[in-house]
Structure 1
Amino acid sequence: MLKTAALALLLCCSFNASADTSVDVSKIYGNIKFVDSFPDYKVKVVNSFEDLNVKKVDSFADAPGKWKIVDSFPDYKIQIVDSFPDFTIKYVDSFPGVN
């Protein structure tokens, strides 16, 4: 009985620790490079309930959600995934940023 209670406590603590690792998406903007490996963040593209609205821009990527896609000297490296993302995005034409 004591082992079962200890195991349950350990599992609860591990779930709480993993829930505290959220990403502050309001700081993700600038020069973005899409990569297949070793990303800074893993991102899933969705149509609703997104964490960040992203607008692809050619210049002035100076606010949350404004991404200039580059091949070299990125501020962040992003990998597009289908499962277990760090956060989700939705591509928009206006009003980029956090909801």
Structure 2
Amino acid sequence: MKFRNILAGMLCAVMLLTVTMTQAFAASPINQDGYYKGIRLAGKIKVVDYNADIKVKIVSSFPDLRVKAVEHFPDDIGEWQFVDYGEDFTIQYVDSFPDIKIQFVEHWPGVA
């Protein structure tokens, strides 16, 4: 009987830890509508060296946003047209402490 109680307690602890870790990894700075701090993550983007609206890290897995570089009509979330002027927002590429993590894709851009 005592062994059964210990086993049940351990099982509950593992389940609680699993739920907690899943929620921690699932948390994204981007909401489901594709906004980061009020910035819609679609449109014309200018890359800058400092004072960017968003600091971005390029990753190959587990991105916050999948980005498709387009030449025209960047209307959908994750479609970015890179420009030198007339930008909707600016980004800065960083290796550490990013605001969001992106992965460049050819198909199906959007919130990961």
| Count of aligned pairs | 78
Counterpart of 1:89 (choices 102, 105, 108) is: 102
Which residue does the alignment assign to 1:3? none
TM-score (norm 2): 0.67
What is the Cα deviation at residue 49 of structure 1? 0.4
Q: State how far apart, in whole Å, the 2-side matches of 1:68 and 1:80 are.
A: 16
Show the 5 A alignment for 1:1-99. Answer: 22-24=29-31, 26=34, 27-99=40-112
Structure 1 segments of 4+ aligned residues over 2 angstroms from their partners: 22-25
- CA deviation profile, 1:59-85 (whole Å, cap 9, x unmatched): 110010000000001001000000000
Rg larger in structure: 2
- CA deviation profile, 1:18-45 (whole Å, cap 9, x unmatched): xxxx344812110000000110000000
Identity of aligned residues (%): 47
CA RMSD of aligned residues (A): 1.2
Gaps of 5+ in 1: 1-21
Q: Which has the higher contact order (CA 8 A, sep 6+)?
A: 1
Q: State how far apart, in whole Å, the 1-side matches of 2:102 and 2:89 are.
A: 15
- Amino acid aligned to 2:77: P
TM-score (norm 1): 0.75
Q: State how far apart, in whole Å, the 1-side matches of 2:30 and 2:96 are.
A: 16
Q: State how far apart, in whole Å, the 2-side matches of 1:39 and 1:29 are.
A: 16
